Amino acid sequence: MQIAIVSDIHANVEALEVVLADIKRRMIKNVVCLGDIIGYGPNPRECLQLLMDCKMVLMGNHEEAVLYYGEDFNPKAREAIDWTRDQLNRPDRPKEENYDLWNFLGVMEQIIETEEAMFVHASPRDPTKEYVTPDDTRKNKDKLRDIFTRFERVCFIGHSHIPGVYTQELRYIDPKTIGNEYRLEDGRKALINAGAVGQPRDGDPRASYVTFDGSAVKFHRLEYDYKKTADKIYKEPRLPNYLGDRLAVGR
């Protein structure tokens, strides 16, 4: 059974619609979302509604911050969270619709394990907050070794917005160097970052997601109208302009 794994949409409905259309074109019915559906971007309500029927949805640090308090967020990120919270409480929308959005946030899990994989937003050690980046393979080897003890075969993460494969030998593999496909090796573990649908940070502005058939992971990149998303951000006084600027450069 094939599944599609998306992460870090960040209220970018233009990117999400393109990704969901591609998943539908591939006739994949099961979608797993690794969190951060909201935060930063201009369409939190629409993105939540589009993902309510996913097979599994996990909590990201932005969902956690909206539900509770983003104590580790910088002032600009916290302002975006406060704006997002207000959007989910819009008085011009039906109360039942607002309740549905909050109820959806409230039932998100932090870690989900199946027979085939573990799914988490950030890291098995800290499900919503710990970043895993390519630099860890050089600077934080003990951290990665510990992470690999926390799952059995393959673990899918997001959070850093940088797609790629981390091997049990503590190597990072850029998807471009392997033809955007990684086949799991018998007896070897792999940590897979799905990248970001709505706010890539690997220098490529295209939306990122992965598909998994139980033995191989495929990385997909898709063009979308990032200028339309950026223009919405620029028109909202409470969202910093840099959140729109970064979409053009994938940073």
What are the pLDDT tens digits along the chain (251 aa)? 899 999 999 999 999 999 999 999 999 999 999 999 999 999 999 999 999 999 899 999 999 999 987 667 778 778 889 999 999 999 999 999 999 999 999 999 999 999 999 999 999 999 999 999 999 999 999 999 999 999 999 999 999 999 999 999 999 999 999 999 999 988 899 999 999 999 999 999 999 999 999 999 999 999 999 999 999 999 999 999 999 999 999 99
Q: What angle do CA 42, 52, 238 make, to 5 degrees?
A: 15
Longest pairwise C-alpha distance within the chain? 54
- Pair 158, 8: CB distance under 8 Å: yes
Task: Give the separation between CA 126 and CA 152, rounded to whole angstroms.
Answer: 17
Say what the pLDDT of residue 151 is: 97
Say what the pLDDT of residue 77 is: 78
Q: Give pTM, 2 decimals.
A: 0.96
Class of domain 3-248: alpha beta
- Pair 144, 138: CB distance under 8 Å: no
What ranges do the domains of the chain cover?
3-248
Beta carbons within 10 angstroms of residue 241's beta carbon: 11
Say what the pLDDT of residue 234 is: 97
Say what the pLDDT of residue 70 is: 64
- Pair 59, 110: CB distance under 8 Å: yes
Amino acid at 138: R
Say what the pLDDT of residue 110 is: 97
Half-sphere exposure of 40 toward its Cβ, with a 13 Å CA cutoff?
A: 25
Task: Give the separation between CA 112 and CA 236, rounded to whole angstroms.
Answer: 35
Say what the pLDDT of residue 153 is: 95
Name 143's Cβ contacts closer than 8 Å, sequence gap at least 6: 136
Task: Give the separation between CA 20 and CA 55, rounded to whole angstroms.
Answer: 13
